[in-house]
Structure 1
Amino acid sequence: MANPKKQEKTGFSDVRRAARLSVAPMMEWTDRHCRYLHRLLSHQSLLYTEMVTAPALVRGGALHLLDHNVEEHPVALQLGGSDPVELAQAALLGGEAGYDEINLNCGCPSDRVQSGAFGAILMQSPDLVADCVAEMRAKVAVEITVKCRIGVDEQEPRDILPVFLEKIRAAGCQRVTIHARKAWLKGLSPKENRDIPPLDYDLVHEMKRAYPDMHISINGGIDTLDAAVTQLEQGLDGVMVGRAAYHQPTDILAAADARIFGSGEVRDPFEVVMQMLPYIEAQMGQGARLHQITRHMLGLFAGRPGARAWRRMLSEGASRPGSGPELVQQALGQLVREPIAV
């Protein structure tokens, strides 16, 4: 399942089309096992890695963080950092590893990220972000994109966001994902920053009208496929879904190919589980533990008869010595098969 170092890259237009619906980069969640599962649910949506810090790659030599499966494409690497030269080196490593897009994190509000002078705090330094984008673009052929907030702390979003977009656009960034909330760097935890600051979807739509040449995706609070469709119908280029895609992956992704991209069948989560079994066996043969994979599968049947028994059996059994694919099959027997709503 290892990704070859050299492979045919997905074209810009293909990745932009895939970005009509994407799954957000989420620390400790969107690892390679999670992305493999999500790809089985949607063949066309854009997937993102967890954030990987540029220092970990360039100074730490942690190239294993770039490992991914060929089947995940189109897949984007999200980088964290604030040093233009170091980010360019990390982007080069990501491009050589075969990623279809390199994304710069300007939205994460965690204390650890702030202490490294990157993430949402970069909203205060648009010139630096522009320098980072320019250096990264000079190193790699794949598209360089940015994920940001509408502002941080006391910034007025309607003042700062246009400036931020102008700067990165001038540096060559043509695609941006905007989390439609401010981030409060002091006083709110990362979890609170995902819920408490109010959403301002209107501002994101205003930015699309102001910068029609930019590909703008919206992120934040979108928890149904219907809501994603609505955002696209209102003129945005893409929608990025985070926690809902993780906790209810079938609800967000199983019908995405048909509804968002206009082609492809609705995926049956029972069939997806069966497709995961050889993957689980292969990964365990390479040293992975069952729970490292099945923890991402707990929400597959959210809201369906037997979902609680499915979650309980996997949660309790996957960490036990000797557990393997047969446990997943046993857990599948706790469920009642139902058609997937489109």
Structure 2
Amino acid sequence: MYKITCKITLEGINEETVRLKIKRGSGFWVNECFYHKYRWDEFGTYLDVDSYIYDGDLSNIEMIWRRALSNIERSNKMINFLFGAKIINEYPNHYNRDLETVSKIPATPLKSSENINRIHNFICALNNIVKSETKKARDNEDKLRKKYYAAINYCIRSLDAIDADLYEDALLSIYRGVEILAREKYKTFEQEIINNFRNKFSEFLDEVVDETYGERHRQLFEEFKPLISKKLMTDTRKILKSLRELKIFSENDLLEMKNLCDVRNSLSHGNTEENEISIDLLAKGLYVLRSIIAIMILDKKLPKAYPFADLVH
């Protein structure tokens, strides 16, 4: 088994001082990485992170070294997602690091806190999505977990893009993440929409042509159905309908997301100079995306799902 230890600095995108609201000297796990020795001084806030490599081919030292650093980079980005801000600005391409041989993962006593519990609860819930015994059910759960990871990665991309002042890229990443999860949510009530359409069609037959919906009308209805499921229910409408069904967003949230979808659609048609993208719109989009992930994975609203940090200007 091998280990790499890196030292990281926590800092806001505008060089603010970051406080994680955990006890000095404590730490937490994110997958194969243990973040520990949380500390701060007048110059900054710091963590050490250990990345363990204990499975797969352990004969290629160069590959092990790359895997360890890749684990740290992925975990750093996950921390940025969980805190909703790019508080780890440095990724491990320039860390001072040495590969160590270790016989076991040492005991890592943790000082419990609300933030640490939230980090562990989220990671645990994400890793435990695949839990069924049958292959078909496990395959479906694995596909769902991959969609959650995709949405999280789009959120991370948007944070990186905002940090680089690439607002168009940030908006497109937010939209894509919301779209993935909204499509998943839409599946749960799509049949209800089709049934409502069938009922309206039946009422039309009864009131206008004095006929009762029956087998001979079914083929005609099947021809109409794609107009509802594919033409009328556009991605924007599916997104807004799904957000409304989650029952956690205000009318203002929905209005802002309609605006974000409209800007995205305009950009997709090549109108790159006609759309002003404000940081407030991006902030609202990130709030909505992280809220969807929280409610779908943890069944909790955003303020109760994620850890939080203080930024001191």
TM-based fold match above 0.5: no
TM-score (norm 1): 0.23
Query: Does 1 or 2 have the higher relative contact order (CA < 8 Å, sep 6+)?
Result: 2
**TM-score, normalised with respect to structure 2:** 0.25
Larger radius of gyration: 2
